[in-house]
Amino acid sequence: MTCETYEEQISALIDHELKDEETEVLFAHLSTCRRCRHSLQSVLDLRSDFGEQVPPMAPKELDEKVLQSETRPKLYAGDRKPMTLQVWKRRISIPMPVAAAMAIVLVAGTIVLTSLWTSPQTIYVTTLPTVEVRGNFP
Amino acid sequence: MQTLTDEQLVERIKVDEVRGFAHLYHRYKHRVYAYCYRLLRHPQNAEDATQETFLKIHRSFQQLENPASLQTWIFSIARNEAFTILRRVKPVEELEKAENEVWEEEGPLERIVERERAEVVQRCLSLLKPAYREVLILREYEHLSYSEIARVTGASESAVKSALFKARKAMGVKLDSMMNERDER
C-alpha cells in the first residue's frame, strides 16, 4: 500500500470508520512512516479547528415563519375523518355589531318583561252614588 | 418531552400534529440552519432554505418510511433545498464541472483578509467545492456516520470516505499556506 492509501485510512480512522484489522495495519505503518504521522497530526489539528467553531444559530423570525404559517396544510388531512362537532358544540362566528345588537335587544327585552311582570297593578274602585227610587213596584 | 427519541417524536407527531411538529422544529432548526448556512455562505439564503426545508418536512411527512432515519431524511431535504438555491446562484455546469477539482474559483472578494484562525478555517471551508464542503460539514459539525452521509447525499459509502479524505487533505494544505501567508504579513 502507498502512503496515499494510508492517508485515506487515517481520515477514516479519526471518524471511527476503520475496521479492526485495517487499524492494526495502519498503526504498524504509522510507527515507521514520518509522513503519515504528520498527516495524522494534520487531520487531528483540522478536527480541533472545526471543534472551535461557534455554530450559526437560526434567527428568531424563522419560528414565526415556520410555525405560524396559516397556509400550512394538515399533515394527515387525507387519512383522518374530517373533524365534525355536534350541533350544540359548534362555534358560530358572529360579527361584533350584530352580537352587540343582539345583546342589547336581549337585555332590553328582559327589562321590559320583568317590569311588566312585577309592576303593581292599579285597582280603580268606583263608588256609585246612592239613588233613591220611589214609586210602587209590583 | 426533551428526552423523546426521533422514533417517539414521529409517533408524537401522528397523535398531536401541532405540538409534535413544533417539537421537531425546535430540535432541528439550529442544525438545519447551520448546515444550510455553511453550504450557502449567505444568511438570507440559509434562512430561506431552512424555512423551505421545514415546510417540505411538514407537507411530505407521510413519506417518511423509517422513523429511525428521521435525521438523515431531514438533512437530505435540507440538502436539496440548499442545492436548489446554489443552482439558482450558480449554473449547474459550474457546480458540476471538473469533478476532480476540490476548490471553487476564488473571486477578488473572497480573498483572505481575516486574521483569526477560526475565520481562516471557515473561509477555507467556504472555498471548497460544494460536493466536498457538504461531506465535511455533515461529518465535522453534524457528526453523521459515513452510511448516514451516504443516505443524505445519495452517494456510496466509499465515495463519502474518498471525498472526506480529499477534502481534509486539501483543507490541510490550504490552511497551512494561508496561515503562513498571514504570519508573513
CATH number for the domain spanning B141: value is 1.10.10.10
Query: How many angstroms separate the CA atoms of A72 and B28, rounded?
Result: 19
Domain count, chain A: 1
**Banded pLDDT at B123 (limits 50, 70, 90):** confident
- Say whether both B169 and B109 belong to one domain: yes
Residue B138: all three cell numbers together: 455533515
Tell me what the mean pLDDT of segment B95-107 comes to.
Answer: 57
Q: Could you tell me if residue A42 is inside a domain?
A: yes
Residue numbers in A near B32 (CB within 8 A) = 58
Split at pLDDT 50, 70, 90, the class of A23 is very high
Q: Tell me, what's the pLDDT at B106?
A: 55
Indicate if B31 and B104 belong to the same structural domain: no
Say if residues B127 and B103 touch (Cβ distance below 8 Å): yes
pLDDT classification of B113: cutoffs 50, 70, 90: very low
So what's the pLDDT on residue B104? 67
Mean pLDDT over the full length of chain A = 79
Domain-embedded: residue A96: no
Same domain? B26 vs B61: yes
pLDDT at A111 over 80: yes
pLDDT (mean) for B173-179:
81
Residues of A in contact with B54 (CB under 8 A): 66
Number of domains observed in the structure of chain B:
2
Q: Tell me: do B1 and B67 sit in the same domain.
A: yes
Mean pLDDT for the stretch of residues A29-44: 93
Domain at B67, CATH number: 1.10.1740.10
State mean pLDDT over A29-41: 94
Taking an 8 Å cut-off on Cβ atoms, the answer to whether B55 and A72 are in contact is yes
- Inside any domain, residue A34: yes
Rounded average pLDDT over B27-34: 95
In this predicted structure, the answer to whether residue B36 has a pLDDT above a threshold of 50 is yes
The predicted-structure confidence for A120-132, as pLDDT tens digits, reads as follows 666 666 677 777 7
For residue B76, what pLDDT is reported?
Answer: 96
Residue A17, in any domain of the structure: yes
* Residue A134 domain flag: no
What's the N-to-C CA distance of chain B in angstroms? 53
A39 in any annotated domain = yes
Whether A22 and chain B come into contact, CB under 8 Å, resolves to no
Whether A103 is covered by a domain: the verdict is no
Average pLDDT over residues A47-62: 86
**Angle between helix A3-14 and A34-51 (nearest 10):** 30
**Whole-number Å distance between alpha carbons of B119 and B106:** 16
Q: Residue B86: phi, psi to the nearest 5? A: -60, -40
Q: Which residue, B89, B108, B133, sits at the end of a domain?
A: B89
Domain membership of residue B145 as a residue range:
98-185
Give the Cα separation of B163 and B133 in Å (integer): 9
Identify whether A29 is part of a domain: yes
Eight-class DSSP state of A59: P
What are A81-91's pLDDT values in tens digits? Answer: 444 444 555 56
Q: Kindly indicate the confidence band of residue B15, based on its pLDDT and cuts at 50, 70 and 90.
A: confident
- On average, the pLDDT of chain B sits at 84
More confident position, A49 or A70: A49
Range of A47's domain?
3-51
Confidence of residue B162 (pLDDT cuts 50, 70, 90): very high
Q: Are residues B29 and B77 in the same domain?
A: yes
Q: Is the predicted ipTM greater than 0.85, yes or no?
A: no
Asked if residue B51 and residue B1 are part of one domain, the reply reads yes
Are B60 and B144 members of one domain?
Answer: no
Number of other CB atoms surrounding residue A77 within 10 Å: 10
Query: Do the Cβ atoms of B174 and A21 come closer than 8 Å?
Result: no
Q: Which among B50, B68, B89 is the end of a domain?
A: B89
**Does residue B8 sit in the same domain as residue B84?**
yes
- For residue B103, the model assigns a pLDDT of 64
A12 touches chain B (CB under 8 A): yes
Task: Tell me whether residue A55 is exposed, middle or buried, using C-beta atoms within 10 angstroms of its C-beta: 0 to 12, 13 to 18, 19 or more.
Answer: middle
| Pair (B63, B105) in one structural domain | no
| Cβ-based interface (< 8 Å): residues of B facing A | 13-14, 17, 21-22, 25, 29-30, 32-34, 37-38, 43, 46-47, 50-51, 54-55, 58-59, 61-62, 117-118, 121-122, 139-141, 145-146, 161-162, 164-165, 168-169, 171-172, 175
Q: Average pLDDT in the B65-85 region?
A: 93
CB A43 to CB B168 under 8 A?
yes
pLDDT above 50: residue A45: yes
What integer is the mean pLDDT of A111-123?
75
Based on the domain organization, do B107 and B177 belong to the same domain? yes
B87 and B96 Cβ atoms separated by less than 8 Å: no
Residue predicted with more confidence, A90 or A9: A9
